[in-house]
Chain A
Amino acid sequence: NAGVTQTPKFRVLKTGQSMTLLCAQDMNHEYMYWYRQDPGMGLRLIHYSVGEGTTAKGEVPDGYNVSRLKKQNFLLGLESAAPSQTSVYFCASSFSRGIQETQYFGPGTRLLVL
């Protein structure tokens, strides 16, 4: 099992450019999450999905869109990148949202917006 994978690992964008981050999991998990990690602010939830075809907003959704067309994939899109979106992005998945369930994380994508 590969677990949770993310592509790309690193990307540099210019302000206004768009890109899509891909997250894939092979654990048949229903729930998937996108977090961003910033110094001094810990990890914050951007969007999440409770199953194929569903998405919902997290704490900091502005400037991002997501799609979950297939159960194993969760895409995060930036339509018009801004320097404030420079961050490390982590995808995570879990079997359910149960408070006992472990979330498993991908290796992260480092994004630099100039």
Chain B
Amino acid sequence: AQSVAQPEDQVNVAEGNPLTVKCTYSVSGNPYLFWYVQYPNRGLQFLLKYITGDNLVKGSYGFEAEFNKSQTSFHLKKPSALVSDSALYFCAVRDRGGASSNTGKLIFGQGTTLQVKP
């Protein structure tokens, strides 16, 4: 079974400093990984995804993520954090069950709250 884990419930960063939100994965076959962000009282917004190719994936709002196959990680990064980046971040992988049981649902990590202080 595939899964993703986010080891930190909360990450605190000062504005202007680099930020990292961690994600590790366990999947069979090639991993296809996603990051979503949820701002307070809002829906989930797609940030970026890793399919194949370059291990550094660039996404929306200046975010990027680094895929590391040997460490089975897909950490989200940003060189300079903004207060407006404060939100809940989810790492996810799509279900790849058997042909008769594949819902295509997203399997989410538990989420990491990012707090960026001025």
Contact = CB atoms under 8 A, between A and B. Distances in A.
Interface string A23-54: 00000000101010000101101001000000
A101 B94 contact: yes
Contacts of A58: 103, 105
B105 A99 contact: no
Interface in B59-118: 90, 93-96, 102-106, 108-111
Given A99-B32, A99-B94, A43 B43 contact: no
Given A99-B32, A99-B94, A100-B32, A105 B45 contact: yes
Interface residues of B, number: 24
Given A42-B111, A105-B45, A107-B42, A94 B105 contact: no
A48 B104 contact: yes
Q: How large is the interface on A (under 10, 10 to 19, 20 to 34, 35 or more residues)?
A: 20 to 34
A7 interface: no
Contact of A103 (B51, B106, B109, B110): B106
B22 interface: no
Given A42-B110, A42-B111, A97 B43 contact: no
Given A102-B34, A104-B46, A48 B103 contact: yes
B73 to A, nearest CB: 19
Contact of B104 (A90, A94, A104): A94
A98 B108 contact: no
A14 B52 CA distance: 49
A33 B102 CA distance: 13
B43 A99 contact: no
A114 interface: no
A35 B107 CA distance: 11
Given A42-B110, A42-B111, A98 B104 contact: yes
Contacts of B46: 102-105
Interface in A68-104: 90, 92, 94, 96-104
18 contacts: A33-B104, A42-B90, A43-B106, A43-B108, A58-B103, A58-B105, A90-B43, A97-B102, A98-B104, A99-B93, A99-B96, A100-B49, A100-B51, A100-B94, A101-B104, A102-B49, A104-B46, A105-B43
